A and B are shown apart, each in its own frame.
Chain A
Amino acid sequence: MSDDNSGGRTATVIVPLDGSEEATAALPVARTLAQAEGVPLHLLHVGAQAETTQVTLQAIGLAAEEIHDAVLLARDGSPAEAIVAYAHETASRLIVMASRAHGDTGHGALGAVTREVLRRASCPVVLVSPERPRTAWPLRAILLPHDGIPTTAAAIARTADLAHRSGAKVSVLHIASTTSAPPAEPGALMAPRYLDQPQHEWPSWAREFMERVVALGGPPPGVNMRLFFDCGEPADAIVRFAGEHETDLVVIAWVAGWEPEQRTTMRKVIDQAPSPLMVFPLEQPSAGQVF
């Protein structure tokens, strides 16, 4: 993760802007997140680096007063590559971008550049729908779907930290699947396979689930975290919950290198989530075994 690899450099929140109206949808979200993270906001335009700042400003389609709280930069090269390289260079804590840019040729709701950034970034990427109004974005409620696998628990600490900084509450949602087999990773905690006596099993399970969340995520004291449970197709359950519970941000853990289009859940949530989506990159999970 990028949290501790800054090597003394100033961490950033990056917003790539390509000049399209769609790309600017990320700005209000990025402002709130940069504020919460306590790091500067960098607006990055990938184009000819020799251009003057004024030219860059024109290229991204914003007036000078619209970037009052940010730093404007330009880089050469292919957009996704330059964004990821800049994120690495500045120890970026987050890349916040529209899920699709103008005239994007990507699949479904995910643009080609965004898709490539998602595949390659080592820091979380926040996707914002280009249709989102440019109004201020308050962060009050975060939805953290957690499948009970230790590897994906890596997203908990970062989410809890963000919640702590912003004062948001965190709803941890576990979705028991009706379509997938139990994971093989040691330490996985699914919905109880054996519900011998529900009056005992459910309280024990809920306690165990949250104790693991707390132990693995180490949330700062005072973070409001609550467990919710649903059953069914994960993407549907996430979208449903986000819609019903006035969610400002959905955090999804995602194994680095996976093709977003190949992950049904990911694709559906990107397509349908009513709020910005933070995609948290993970290492590959390990295989399970018996004692």
Chain B
Amino acid sequence: MTSPLQPTPDRLWTIEDDGFALAREHEVESVLATGNGLLGIRASVAEGCSLSDPATFVAGVYDVEPTWNGIPGLLVLADWTDLGISVEGTPLSLESGEMVEHRRVLDLRHAVLWRDWVHRDADGRVTRVRALRFASLADRNLAVQRVVVTPDNYTGIIRLDSRLAFAAARIRRWSTAPTSLPRPTMRVLSSDGQPDSVVSGAQTATTGRTVRFAIATAVNADGRDIGRPRRSDDGKDVRETWECGARLGEPIEFTRFLVVDRERSADQPTSTSDSGPTSVVRQVQAAEQRGWEDAAARHAAAWDERWDDCDVQVQGDDDAQRALRFAMYHLVAAANPEDPHVSVGARALTGEAYRGHVFWDTEIYLLPFYTYTYPAAARSLLQYRHVTLPGARRKAEAMGYRGALYAWESTDTGDETTPTSALTPTGEVVRILTGEEEHHISGDVAYAAWQYWQVSGDDEFFVRYGAELILETARFWASRGRIESDGCYHIRRVIGPDEYHETIDDDAFTNVMARWNLVRGAETAAIMADRWPDAWQALRTSIGVSAEEIARWREVADAMKTGFDRRTSLFEQFDGYFGLEDLSLAAFEPRTAPIDIILQRDRLQKSKIIKQADVVALSALLWDEFPRHVHESNFRYYEPRTAHGSSLSPALHAMIAARLGDDVLFHRFFRQAAEIDLANNMGNAAGGVHIAALGGLWLAAVLGVGGLRAREDGLVLDPHLPRGWAALSFNVQWHGRRVRVSIDRATDAVTLALVGGEGMHVALECGETLAAQPGSTWRARRARGRWNAWERVDRE
């Protein structure tokens, strides 16, 4: 196949799955998924197998499935990738005949999934299949699939069968449900005066939103168009069949283009003036005319640009390098800077688990990556929180509070979508309280908005969106608790990030983040009044905030109970935590059961065992607010008590271990985080990749090992290269400037290059602050634990 793209031979840029292990198929489909923030396509084999779960997700469009008690889940588009291949009437399958070779390679560099398959049938006929697919990063509503079939040792009839339909399994699941709820519908308009090569249709979700799609297909045999397919179309499913006499060694090339368009909502029927059924057809025809090579080249160029901005390079640890590239690949594939109405769900667009619901994961675990390397995506993700602000206001009001309380699980409206109960496999129905009690998310949203503004300098965002988010969340916190007789402001009946302990009082993470939010709220009001008085006047009128209310935020912040003990430097995770039973987690190892199943809810809640970073998460977010010994004390206290029952936890522990210079724990937790999706013996990834754990890997490397933090006047670095890492390089952006940082073990030096923009400050912890000029490169060496002065090296 001549192509502007070939799979890279560099294994540091690929994730490979050799052979075929049926049991792992769902994991492989998630791990090797392709996406662009609008479309997410699982890596299912086109011809299907007995454990295929093909799905193409369309970001921001949700169905309400009856089987989930009305809880919305991401819409799954009819499977446009389906393609059966038959040789002399016998379908090729991974589960029959001989699999001479089978390999799927995800090329991370260009975000293309490649597949090579050599199949020998019972009569000895050998057929080669090479396939690729990608979701275009250059044109987000476009995806391309190409399958090349070559008869290796025979001349015979090869048939290609394509079926566009709802995935059968999904119909089955829905069909058992009560019929009183609306069902998603699909209409196919294939015979509506369109060219033969195009099938178009519309899929309407139960929430009323419609996704229009058009699919164009071309089939060539050795360069000749083999003509029109036989098509059967019953208005719901479309089947197309191409049959041709294939000559030995001559490839049959099948190329398919998908274009989608979403109607924003029922009352806003189209997202652009050029939309509707004819638009997707026009677009797909244009894409087909330009050819897949053109689409691939544009897509690859868009990814080159992303990698130029975000790549992190690790020398000396290939596993870590690949894990980081894998993480960044999925992070880029998850976000869409062009759509402020969507955010990134817990499994991104790679699987059905978590139903596309958006959690605090996005703000705390993902946003730093976007903020520092892909600011347009960060801005868009934060705008989603502005779009859904009405939902957050509704939730606060419904619970008797003021301001904005974000949904623990959010979809398209911002209304709470957390299920209220769960059926455990032991048959127990447990009440789920996170939707009612896990309130720190409001502080997390404000934190991410503020961080984005600090790092990007995007004043327009701050004035139009960020300020309102920060003010409305501050307002929520001021209404959430009260100053009690001890003179302290208490926030009672919450759940912190450690979700093992419910309905607790004064969770340290929640309260410290609330205090931070209140202080930033007051500061935001002052900044707005000072720098943008007109906008401030409009905003304060619109949300009705008064000077007295803002003054009270400071009072509340000053009175906030945080659980900090100056004597021990420890935060008590919540009121009464230190009095709980100190069970040793080591006593429960080895185990394959989660600790909350072993101990059961009641016993767990009476113990100090915690699910994930909670107080330690404060160190990750507010490092500069506390002295180092506070971070050290709390990490040493809480780390041994953390069961890591959340996939978010290991990476954040790796980050703090790196900042504290604990190489052993850094490696242990970094590896644990990397294995969540990449290990092949856990089955974790079957329902989609753990995008927060992947975001956490970037945090561990750049904010942990690099020790990167942002300040008002620039950046701070505090490198701690762990043993085994010879060098670490990364790119970040600050106020439009591009900065490249390299940390080298052999020379014990940090090199910093500032590309473009204006000058800026970069400080080294325990070292000198550099006033870097654009186009210059600087180096500082460490001697006896102290950094020497920066030296300019680009003139060397």
Binding site for B on A (CB under 8 A): 148, 150, 153, 174, 176-206, 208, 211-212, 215-216, 218, 227-231, 288-291
Residues from chain A with Cβ under 8 Å of B50 in the complex: 215, 218
B642 CB to closest chain A CB (Å) equals 13
Q: Specify which chain B residues have a CB less than 8 angstroms from the CB of A211 in the assembled complex.
A: 26, 51, 53
Chain B contacts of A181 at CB under 8 A?
590-592
- 9 A-B residue pairs with CB within 8 Å: A150-B21, A178-B593, A181-B591, A183-B681, A194-B644, A194-B684, A195-B645, A196-B648, A204-B687
Q: How far is the CA of A116 from the CA of B472 in the complex (A)?
A: 75
Q: How far is the CA of A179 from the CA of B357 in the complex (A)?
A: 35
- CB-CB under 8 A from B690, the residues of chain A are 194, 196
Is B425 close to A, CB under 8 A? yes
A contact residues around B419 at 8 Å (CB): 199-200
Assembled-state Cα–Cα distance A182/B590 (Å) = 8
Say yes or no: A291-B31 contact (C-beta < 8 A), given A184-B681, A208-B687: yes
B763 touches A (CB below 8 Å) = no
Given contacts A153-B23, A193-B682, A291-B680, is CB(A177)–CB(B591) below 8 Å?
yes
Is B339 engaged at the interface, CB distance under 8 Å to the other chain? no
Q: Which residues does chain B contribute within 8 Å of A183, judged by CB atoms?
A: 681
Most buried by A among B346, B359, B421, B597: B597
Partner among B23, B432, B678, B686 whose Cβ is within 8 Å of the Cβ of A150: B23
Q: Is B588 touching A178 in the complex (CB atoms < 8 A)?
A: yes
Query: Cα distance A37–B590 when bound, in Å?
Result: 41
Contact A185 to B681, CB < 8 A, known contacts A205-B425, A218-B50: yes
Docked Cα-Cα span, A58 to B690, in Å, equals 68
| A-B Cβ contacts below 8 A, count | 167
- Tell me if B737 is interfacial: C-beta within 8 Å of chain A: no
Interface residues of B in 426-452 (CB under 8 A from A): 426-427, 430, 432, 434
- B residues adjacent to A (C-beta < 8 A): 15-17, 21-26, 31, 50-51, 53, 319, 346, 352-355, 357, 359, 409, 418-419, 421-427, 430, 432, 434, 588, 590-594, 596-598, 644-648, 675-676, 678-684, 686-687, 690
In the complex with contacts A199-B419, A291-B15, A291-B17, A191-B681 CB distance below 8 A = no
Contact B24 A187 (CB under 8 A): yes
CB contacts (< 8 Å) of B16 on chain A: these are: 291
Shortest Cβ gap from A215 to chain B (Å): 4
Q: Which residues of A lie under 8 Å from residue B684 when comparing CB positions?
A: 192-194
Within the complex, what minimum Cβ distance (angstroms) separates A156 from chain B? 11
Chain A, Cβ-Cβ closest to B430:
A198
Assess whether B687 is in contact with A290, with CB atoms less than 8 Å apart: no
Known: A150-B21, A187-B680, A216-B23. A202 touches B425 (CB 8 A): yes
**Alpha-carbon gap, A195 to B680, bound state (A):** 18
Q: What CA separation (Å) do A196 and B696 show in the bound complex? A: 15
Q: Once bound together, how far apart are the Cα atoms of A205 and B424, in whole Å?
A: 10
Instruction: From the candidates B17, B26, B593, name the one contacting A208 in the complex (CB within 8 A).
Output: B26
**Is B23 a contact partner of A187 (Cβ separation < 8 A)?**
yes
Contact A191 B597 (CB under 8 A): yes
| A290 close to B21 (CB less than 8 A) | no
A205 CA to B594 CA, complexed, in Å:
13
Chain A residue contacts of B25, Cβ below 8 A = 215
Alpha-carbon distance between A137 and B157 when the two chains are bound, in angstroms: 55
Closest 3 CB pairs of A and B: A229-B425, A176-B593, A187-B23
B143 CB to closest chain A CB, in angstroms? 24
A231 touches B51 (CB 8 A): no
Residues of A within 8 A of B409 (CB): 197
- Which chain B residue has the least Cβ–Cβ distance from A212? B23
Closest chain A CB from B509 CB (angstroms): 17
By the criterion CB–CB under 8 Å, are B422 and A182 in contact? no
Write the chain A residue with the least CB distance to B594: A195
- Residues of B near A185 (CB, < 8 A) are 681
Pair B646/A196 contact, Cβ less than 8 Å = yes
Residue of A nearest to B31 (CB): A291
Chain B residues with Cβ below 8 Å from A187 are 21-24, 680-681, 683
Assess the A231–B680 pair: CB atoms within 8 A.
no
**B45 → A minimal CB distance (Å):** 13
Measured between beta carbons, the chain B residues less than 8 angstroms from A177 are: 590-593
CA–CA, A153 to B50, complex, Å?
15
CB within 8 Å for A199 and B422 given contacts A189-B23, A204-B686, A211-B26: yes
Task: Provide the residues of chain A in CB contact with B425, threshold 8 Å.
Answer: 174, 191, 202, 205-206, 227-229
A137–chain B nearest beta-carbon distance, Å: 29
Which partner residue on chain A sits nearest B680 by CB separation?
Answer: A186
Q: How far is the CB of A222 from chain B (nearest CB, A)?
A: 15
CA distance A178 to B31 in the complex (A): 29
| A179, B590: Cβ atoms closer than 8 Å | yes
Chain B residues within an 8 Å CB radius of A198: 422, 424, 430, 432, 596
B422 near A202: Cβ-Cβ < 8 Å: yes
Of chain B, the residue at the smallest CB distance from A176 is B593
* A193, A201, A218: most-surrounded residue (chain B CB, <10 A): A193
Residues on B with beta carbons closer than 8 Å to the beta carbon of A195: 594, 596, 645-646
Q: A197-B434, A199-B419 are in contact. Are A182 and B681 (CB under 8 A)?
A: yes
Query: Nearest Cβ distance between residue B425 and chain A, in whole angstroms?
Result: 3
A191, B422: Cβ atoms under 8 Å?
Answer: no
- Could you tell me if A192 and B594 are in contact, using CB atoms closer than 8 angstroms? yes
**Would you call B51 and A212 a contact (CB within 8 A)?**
yes
Q: In the bound complex, how far is the Cα of B53 from the Cα of A86, in angstroms?
A: 45
Which residues in A have their C-beta under 8 angstroms from that of B646? 194-196
Known: A179-B591, A289-B680. A202 touches B598 (CB 8 A): no
What CA separation (Å) do A50 and B23 show in the bound complex?
Answer: 52
A182 to B675, CA, bound (A): 13
Give min CB distance, B609 to chain A, whole Å: 13
